[in-house]
Structures are given as structure tokens and as C-alpha cells.
Amino acid sequence: MPPAPLLPAVARTEAGYRLYTAREVHTLRFIRRARDLGFSMAEIAELLKLWQNRRRASADVKRIALAHVADLERRLAEMTAMKRTLASLAACCHGDARPDCPILDELAD
């Protein structure tokens, strides 16, 4: 089952252009900012519900944000390790006409 859309279908002109209300534009900006911070579509959907619920607990928003920070830290650690490994392999590669290459050897192991 596909995920529910973050924004309901909007009206269109005869030429097919979408007509957004000021509220829909505000919602689109919210979605864009959340995407820029790397939130998943599911997280954005949850954040949108919280944003639209004026009786929400800020603790719920903070929980989502901190979980995302933890995920970013995990991914950053993984990428740092990949960078370190690849830089080390590249330093061992002669990068000339010789056929031997430690990068390819490592990938083949």
C-alpha cells in the first residue's frame, strides 16, 4: 500500500497548473525544510500531524528530532569509516600504468 500523500490533491487550472492556497504553500515549505534536514517521508508525515495539532506535546516532536539526530550520527560514523578505508586504499594505489591495484584487490576480497 503506497504511503498517504503529505498534501491533499490541489485544484488545477485548465492548463494543468496547480493552484495552491497560502496554507498549502506554508505546508509545502514545512515539508521542504524537513526534507532539507533529511527527515524521511514517514517522519515528515508524523511531524506534519504534530504541527497541525495545536494540543500536541513538544516532547513528541523532540523524540522524533533526537531519533533523527541519532540516525544522522550513525550514518556519519559509517561514512567516515568508508572514507578512511577508501583514502587508505587510494594511498596504496600507484595510479600509473601498472595493472595491480589494491583498491580492486580489496573489492574482490
End residue of a domain, out of 56, 74, 93: 56
Q: Is the pLDDT of residue 82 over 70?
A: yes
Mean pLDDT of 52-56: 94
Helices 41-52 and 22-36 pack at an angle, to 10 degrees, of: 140
Of 68, 71, 31, the C-alpha closest to 51 is 31
Q: What is the pLDDT of residues 4-33, one digit of tens each?
A: 788 888 888 999 999 999 999 999 999 999
- 11 φ, ψ to 5°? -65, 155
64 and 15 in one domain? no
52 and 77 in one domain? no
67 and 30 in one domain? no
Q: What is the pLDDT of residues 38-52, one digit of tens each?
A: 999 999 999 999 999
Domain count, the chain: 2
48 and 5 in one domain? yes
Using pLDDT thresholds of 50, 70 and 90, give the confidence band for residue 3.
low
The whole domain housing 37 covers 1-56
84 and 44 in one domain? no
